[in-house]
Amino acid sequence: MSVKSENVLQRVTGWEAVELVFQCVFIGLLQFIKLGIRRLWKGACRRKEPSTPSVELTVDSSIGIHCHIKVLGVKYHYVETGPKDGNIALILGDAPDSGNLWVPSWSSVIRRLAENHYHVITLDLRGTGGSEGGNRRDLSPPRAVAEITALLKALGVTENKQAIVIGFGIGGVLTWYLSHSKGSLIRKMAVVGAPHPNLYWQYPPASFCTNLHFIQWPHFPEKWLADGVMQEGTQWTGSRARDWSGALNYVRGAAWWRIHPGHKVRPRALLIGARTGAAQLVASAQMCASPALRLVADPSPRDPELPGLILDFFVGKPKQAEEVPRGIMGRVLGVMADKSRGLTRLALTPSD
C-alpha cells in the first residue's frame, strides 16, 4: 500500500522484454503453422457447407438512453440508466461485444441499480459497439486508465462521490487496472471472469486467448478468430475481423504491463469466477485488501446466479416484510412467542 499510484503500472523492460519478443516470434510461429494447417482444412470443409448469413446484434433501447462523449479526443458510446444525480455505476462489458449485457437477467440488474439511485453507465469499450477503435498503443493499460478516469470525472465522480465499477472479461481486466491506479475514485468493484493482470501468462485474460504468443502478431489473429480457426464451435464463427480489433489490442497491450506486486486494490472487491477456475480466483484475491470470492457455472451476464450476487454486494439483500421490534418489550414478546411455539410442538408430539 506504500506504492504511489503513479508507480503502480510498470512496463516490461530489459531482458524480460527481449525474452518476451523472442517467445512471441518463435512460439507464435509454431502456432501460426499449426493454425494455418487447421485453417486450410476448415476452408476445404466450409466449401462443402451452405453459407449462412451473419447475425447482427441489436441493443434494447428500453433499458436506457444512448449517448456519445469525447474523452481525450476519443469518441465513446454508452447507455445511461437511472437518475443523473445518483452515484455512478460504471459497467465495462467484455470484448468482443456479444450482446450479453442486454439479456433480460442482466437488464433486471441495471433496473434494480437505477431504482436504488445509481446512475448506471454501460460503456462500449474501444473497438466495440459505437465506440472508436484504436491500435495496441491506443489501448495500452495507461491510456485506457487515463480515458476511463477522464470519463468518470466528466460524469461527476470525485473522491467524495465515488463510483462503483463492474467489469466482465476484458472489461474486468480494465477494472483491475483502474482500481489499482485510481482506487480513490472507486467505492466498490466487481470483476467477473477476469484474472488479475499479473496472472496474464498463467491464466489468459479472456476465453479466446488460447494462443497468447500468437495473439501478439498483427492481422492474422483477427482474421482467424473471425473465421473460427482459433476457436471452434463458438458464436463468433461468422464474425468480422474488425470485430476483434479492440479486444485483441487490449490483450496485446496487457502483455507488456504489470501491476506493482506490493500494491493492493483498496476498494472492496467482489471477484466472480468459474467453478473450474478457483485457483486463479484465489491468486487474484491476493492483490485485494478486502476481497469476496464467488464461484458460478458461467461467469457472464447470462449466468442465473450472477444477478443475486451482484445486487447483494452493491445494494444489499431486501429487508424482511416484517421485523420484530428490538426494544426490551420486543425481546420479551419474542421470548414468549418462542416458548409458546415450543409448547405447541410438545403438545402435538404423538405419545408412545
pLDDT digits (tens, 9 = 90+) for 22-52: 999 999 999 889 888 877 776 644 544 444 4
Instruction: Answer for the pair 132, 74: CB distance below 8 angstroms, yes or no.
Output: yes
pLDDT digits (tens, 9 = 90+) for 129-184: 889 999 999 999 999 999 999 999 999 999 999 999 999 999 999 999 999 999 99
Predicted TM-score (pTM) of the model is 0.84
Side chain identity at residue 232, one-letter code: E
Residue 49 or residue 232, greater confidence? 232
Domain borders along the chain are 53-203+249-314
> What is the pLDDT, as a whole number, of residue 102?
84
Instruction: Answer for the pair 42, 229: CB distance below 8 angstroms, yes or no.
Output: yes
- CATH level 3 topology of 53-203+249-314: Rossmann fold (3.40.50)
